[in-house]
Amino acid sequence: MSENKTDALPLEYSTHQGQMNIVGFWIFLAAEIALFSTLFATYAVLFGRTADSPAPAELFEAGTVLIMTFILLTSSFTCGLAIHNMREGSLKGLMVWLALTLVLGLSFLGFEIYEFVHYVSEGAALGSSAFWSGFFVLTGTHGVHVTLGIGWMIAILIQLKQRGLTAVTTRKVFIVGLYWHFLDVIWIFIFTSVYMIGMVV
Partner 1 sequence: MQLDEFFVTGEPLIYAGMVSIALVSATVIFLLTYFKRWKWLWQDWLTTVDHKKIGIMYILSALAMLFRGGVDALMMRTQLAFPDMNFLNSQHYNEVFTTHGTIMIIFMAMPFLIGLMNIIVPLQIGARDFAFPYLNAVSFWSFFFGAMLFNLSFVIGGAPDAGWTNYAPLAGSELSPGPGINFYLLGLQLAGIGTLATGINLMVTILRMRAPGMTLMKMPIFTWSTLITTFIIIFAFPILTVALALMTIDRIFGSHFFTLTGEGLPMMWANLFWMWGHPEVYIVILPAFGIFSEIIATFAQKQLFGYKTMVGAIVIIAGLSFVVWVHHFFTMGAGAFVNSVFSITTMMIAIPTGVKIFNWLATLYKSKIIFTTPMLWTLAFIPSFTIGGVTGVMLGMAAADYQYHNSYFLVSHFHYVLIPGTVFACFAGLIFWYPKMFGHKLNERIGKWAFWLFLIGFHLCFFPQYFLGLDGMARRIFTVGPEWFTLNFLSTIGAFVMGLGFIIFVHGIIYSFRFSPRDIEGDSWGYGRTLEWATPTPIPKYNFATVPEVDSHDALIDMKEKGETTFDRSKLKPIHMPSYTGQPFIMMAILFFASFALVFEWITLAVIGLIGAIVMMFIRSFDYDEGYHVEVDEIIETERKARRMTDDE
The contact set with partner 1 (CB under 8 A) reads 1-3, 16, 19-21, 23-24, 27-28, 30-32, 34-35, 38-39, 42, 45-46, 49-51, 126-131, 133-134, 136-137, 151-152, 155-156, 158-159, 163, 168, 172
User: What is the torsion angle, in degrees rounded to the nearest 10, for the CA atoms of residue 83, residue 86, residue 87 and residue 88?
Assistant: 130
Round to whole Å and give the CA distance between 4 and 15. Answer: 6
Q: Which lies closer to partner 1 via its Cβ, residue 67 or residue 106?
A: 106
Smallest gap, in angstroms, from Cβ of residue 73 to partner 1?
25
Smallest gap, in angstroms, from Cβ of residue 50 to partner 1?
7
Per DSSP, the three-state class of 128 is: coil
Q: Which lies closer to partner 1 via its Cβ, residue 101 or residue 129?
A: 129
Q: Which lies closer to partner 1 via its Cβ, residue 1 or residue 200?
A: 1
Size of the chain, expressed as the number of residues it contains = 201
Round to whole Å and give the CA distance between 151 and 109. Answer: 13
Closest CA to 142 of 80, 190, 192, 107: 190
Per-residue CA distances from 73 to 50, 54, 57, 84, 185 (Å): 30, 29, 24, 17, 9
Round to whole Å and give the CA distance between 124 and 189. Answer: 22
Smallest gap, in angstroms, from Cβ of residue 18 to partner 1?
11
Q: Which lies closer to partner 1 via its Cβ, residue 123 or residue 151?
A: 151
Q: Which lies closer to partner 1 via its Cβ, residue 39 or residue 68?
A: 39
Amino acid at 81: L
Smallest gap, in angstroms, from Cβ of residue 149 to partner 1?
13
Round to whole Å and give the CA distance between 153 and 93. Answer: 15
